[in-house]
Structure 1
């Protein structure tokens, strides 16, 4: 089974570049199958990691950045892959 973790944060005013750099520096305790980083308007940063694991498995997640770097707590979601058919 594949589980995908989504991590999304909104940077404090004018600090989107810093948040993006911070995310890129973060290393996980284990290597996911895949990891992608995205950015969006309003200085938002999204990271999706894919894991070969059951839905409820404990897998490494990105931490919370320093409070001064973001406007709110990080949003996190977990999804499991489904097959069409």
Structure 2
């Protein structure tokens, strides 16, 4: 089974590039490597990181930490999904 973790944050005004670089760096520094990792951005300086891991829905897998409060406009959102089809 595969579990996917989604992490999404909106940057503080004018800090979208910094948040994107922070997310890129932190996703590469996880204590172990995911099966797959994807970094995306959207209008309004939103950043999304999706990581895929081998394990059940409730697997103990590393997640991105919270960025510094001055880097984000609101707390990061996190979701967990399990694969149902490949």
Same fold (TM over 0.5): yes
Which residue in the other structure is 1:54 paired with? Answer: 56
Q: Which consecutive aligned stretches of 4+ in structure 1 deviate over 2 angstroms post-superposition? A: none
1:1-85 aligned within 5 A: 1-26=1-26, 27-83=29-85
Shift of 1:61: 0.3
Length-normalised TM-score, structure 1: 0.96
SS in 1 for 2:18: helix
What is the number of residues matched between the two proteins? 84
What 5-or-longer segments of structure 1 have no aligned partner? Answer: none
Structure whose alpha-carbon radius of gyration is higher: 1
What 5-or-longer segments of structure 2 have no aligned partner? Answer: none
Length-normalised TM-score, structure 2: 0.95
RMSD (CA atoms): 1.0
